[in-house]
A and B are shown apart, each in its own frame.
Chain A
Amino acid sequence: LLQPALTTENRAEWMAAVEPDATETAYRAIPWRNQFWPAVQEARELGRPILFWT
């Protein structure tokens, strides 16, 4: 198995192939907080419910 050389010509194409595209990252449209306890405190200040994905 060890493969064509990774070249300056195909580097950008490989970068795009490895990175997720817009469809795969659509979940980022939700403004996720990334720590549970600070989010609880924010919800208390706002008087809002919490959606928790864990």
Chain B
Amino acid sequence: MVWSDQRIQKLAENFVPVADEVYMLYPEDPYNLERVKDEPAHQLFKRFGESMPKGDWNHPGTKQGIYLMGPDGEYLEGRFAAGSDPKDIAQRIERALERWEKLRKDKKYANKAVPAVGEQLPPDVAGKPMVLRVSLRDLKSLDKPSATPRWREGAFDDGAWAGFMQWAWNQNWIAFDEPQRWIPRGDDEHKLPDELVRKLCREVLVDNVRGQAPPWDDEQVEHAELRVRRVGRGTPWLLAYSGEARMKHGERGYEASLLGEAEWDPARKEFVRFELVALGMRRGAAQFNQRENDKGPKPMGVALRLYRPAPKSR
């Protein structure tokens, strides 16, 4: 993968690196384009794109890609739909840096060091008291964890969609405002509040391994139950979770078993560890989740882990 390439990681240190969704920055449909046309972010990106060489900017059409620009959107390099060839991207970044050297002298840009930042969370979960990182992927089987296909350099054709489909995985996030609602009220196992479990099912037990898929509507959650019990009497509390979920809409569905383990600090009223895994069969296709030729039923796993900020590495 391009961003795993150490040469590219080194070159990237010269830039403010940003990843973001393109559609609302430069919508392809007239309604949304009209809505954002006066926004400074859209105007800067549009101005940048229109200064690119023919063929590197895609208009009309998707603006997905990798772009290198000065602080005011000055063209340095880039290409739409770029991203699978590390050699090409490294060469583009090097050309961008050559152009940057001239630009920064001409415009007297300060060129201060880019500060370290920790991993940035999506705005809708950042700062919440219980944030879970969600990882999901296709599985080869439901009886052999070690059979899970993983990306390795040279193992797949990284330039082909078929290569990506063999190892695809995705990451999402979910947050909860009241962590204490996830702990048991007494010594016996009991069901967690329905609304918590249904929120989890609606938002993240969704097949977006390969592409975008909408959350489930509440009425499409046919069954959602998660039970919790305390294991032993130690501190922090050791908690065990188990449950089942079934979502269905037309031919599209996901039916899974869930099992989890967590540690709760009763003094600080917060989780110090939370892990939950769902395994089951996905079926059907959403409009944009790239399943039209692979409707299953096939196995898919979803793992949720408490987010803990990592130490800064740069």
Contacts and interface: CB of A to CB of B under 8 A. Distances in A.
Nearest to A34: B120
Interface string B297-310: 10101110100000
Interface string B59-103: 000011111111111001010000100000000010011001001
Contact of A44 (B72, B150, B303): B72
Nearest to B146: A17
Contacts of B118: 31
B164 interface: no
Chain B contact patch, size range? 35 or more
Contacts of B139: 17-18
Interface string B229-256: 0000000000010000000000000010
A22 to B, nearest CB: 10
A2 B255 contact: yes
Contacts of A48: 14-16, 71, 109, 111-112, 114
Given A18-B302, A18-B303, A37-B41, A26 B4 contact: yes
Given A40-B41, A46-B16, A17 B301 contact: yes
Interface stretch (B20-28, B177-185, B187-195, B220-228): B20-28
B16 A35 contact: no
Interface string A19-40: 1110110111111111111011
Given A14-B277, A23-B150, A34 B20 contact: yes
Contacts of A28: 119
**Contact-residue size bin, chain A (C-beta under 8 Å from the other chain):** 35 or more
Contacts of B69: 49-50, 52
A36 B45 CA distance: 10
Given A50-B68, A54-B65, A32 B301 contact: no
Contacts of A5: 257
Given A51-B12, A51-B17, A54-B20, A18 B142 contact: no
Contact of A24 (B100, B121, B151, B260): B151
B17 A54 contact: no
A42 B146 CA distance: 43
A52 B16 CA distance: 8
Given A14-B303, A28-B119, A46-B112, 7 more contacts: A3-B281, A11-B261, A24-B169, A26-B1, A31-B116, A35-B18, A49-B71
Interface of A: 1-8, 10-21, 23-24, 26-37, 39-40, 42-44, 46-54
